[in-house]
Amino acid sequence: MGYNLGMENKVFQIAIDGPVGVGSSTTAKLLAEKLGFIFIDTGAMYRAATYLSITKLGSVEDESKLVELLKKSGIEVIQPEGDKKDGRLITILLDGEDISWKIRTEEISRNVPVVAAMPEVRKVLVGIQQNIAKNHNVVMEGRDITHRVLPNADLKIYLTADEKERAQRKYKQLLIKSEVVTLDQVLVDLKKRDETDMNRSTDPLKIVEGVWVLDTTRLNIDEVVEMIINRFELIRGAKE
């Protein structure tokens, strides 16, 4: 299903923020499919940068060298098609190589907060994200979308959920991928990630004025998507 927005030469931007484990990526993906929008998983772009740093530099410690690499490299975000519809949310290409699953390992998960906190890395990736949103109807999801990347988005959402519920969701995801973890460890890691995301000096995760805070603790994905579509239709109707 796609929507005729009725607004000539005007794109519609939906910005979604939220902490790890809240289901924002899956929600954004399903929402984009129903609306006929482009889904942009900005977290996957930071994972790609982390993968690039580890594979080319051997660590995630040198921001200046990583920025140089990013400027020379091509990170592409593509909607999965054909045999690429294998459970992934998005296809990520790095210099033409499909790294969609390579960036979903625990090693990348452990190191991505370090890379995501690098100001110059964020500047490069934010520029790419903003350019995509200029000319396309997008559902963009991440940690700083509502206040840094798309501060003037037509619909700004902050998804949240109870901490233990988020840990349980993340734990189930890791089990599906055959990762050897315990629920207690997932909860500890989640708390550390929250602290990092909310307290970093550059573009911290936060609730901004005018954002719609949506608690998903007792909601399933379909219910969340339906609520957002209802809000979208109200906004679209007001703009027509």
83-103 per-position pLDDT tens digit: 888 888 899 999 999 999 999
pLDDT of 7 reads 47
First to last CA, the chain: 19
Query: Residue 237 domain-assigned?
Result: no
pLDDT tens string 43-85: 999 999 999 999 999 999 999 999 999 999 999 988 888 888 8
- Of residues 61, 52, 69, 26, the one with CA closest to residue 108: 52
Query: Residue 6 domain-assigned?
Result: no
Q: How far apart are CA 22 and CA 224, in angstroms?
A: 11
Q: How many residues does the chain have?
A: 240
- Of residues 170, 200, 192, 166, the one with CA closest to residue 182: 170
Query: Residue 125 domain-assigned?
Result: yes
pLDDT of 3 reads 53
Q: What is the CATH number of the domain that holds 154?
A: 3.40.50.300
pTM, rounded to two decimals: 0.87
Q: How far apart are CA 74 and CA 200, in angstroms?
A: 26
pLDDT of 4 reads 52
Q: How far apart are CA 32 and CA 39, in angstroms?
A: 6
CB 164 within 8 A of CB 22: no
pLDDT of 2 reads 55
Q: How far apart are CA 120 and CA 203, in angstroms?
A: 12
User: pLDDT at residue 6 above 60?
Assistant: no
Query: Residue 64 domain-assigned?
Result: yes
Residue 129 domain boundaries:
13-230
Which percentage of the chain shows pLDDT scores above 90? 78
